[in-house]
Amino acid sequence: MKYPHPIIAREGWPFIALALVVAIAVQVYAGWGAALFFWLVVVFMIQFFRDPPRAIPADLSAVLSPADGRVVVVERARDPYLDRDALKISVFMNVFNAHSNRSPVDGEVRNTWYFPGKFFNADLAKASLENERAVLWIKTPKGVDVTCVQVAGLVARRILCYAKTGQQLARGERFGFIRFGSRVDLYLPLDAKPRAAVGDIVYATESVLADLP
């Protein structure tokens, strides 16, 4: 699913079409005053499902942000999927961020996991292990392991992960989408050097979160 692709994510087309039909119907039968709220819903849907192309940094050692949002974690942690100590970097997405998820590195998808779970606020630490989530284990051409986890949030009720075991992903390649608020966790080797700090606003593909050894 490389570029070019629609500026409005195809995952959102049914939602936008439904909101548009409802807004038009209400306006026709009840007028502008009654339809205003529904037109605002249309605008919200369009901004939520926007999926703009992004420039990919040239540095091959750079770990790119897999999502738009705010960095909420940069710390040493246990990678529960590969059973290792790791550098964990988490990006929280609110409902006003673009929600396409893109590969942080070049590499082969060595395995994928899906875990049903709860829907706590994705800004909370416990969301990483208790919420619904989809996991990618990516091995770079240099043999470095990167774990990328899509985590559902309080409002998010649908994680879409299209990557499959054995697939080759390119940096910045679109691999999934999370609907309506969520987070993405990255687990990197301990000797990776973070370039993002808690509170930073980052953009998928364009922002560098860390450098791999």
Write out the catalytic residue numbers: 182
Point out which residues pair with 179 in neighbouring strands. 158
E strands in the chain: 62-64, 69-79, 84-93, 100-102, 107-115, 133-139, 145-152, 158-161, 168-169, 174-179, 182-188, 193-194, 201-202, 208-211
Torsion angle of alpha carbons 48, 54, 60, 65, nearest 10°? -20
- Token pair for 150: 């899509």
> To 10 degrees, what angle do helices 13-30 and 32-48 make?
170
Rounded to whole angstroms, the Cα distance separating 74 from 88 reads: 6
Rounded to whole angstroms, the Cα distance separating 148 from 184 reads: 7
Rounded to whole angstroms, the Cα distance separating 173 from 164 reads: 13
CB 56 within 8 A of CB 2: no
Nearest to 159, CA basis, from 112, 124, 202: 112
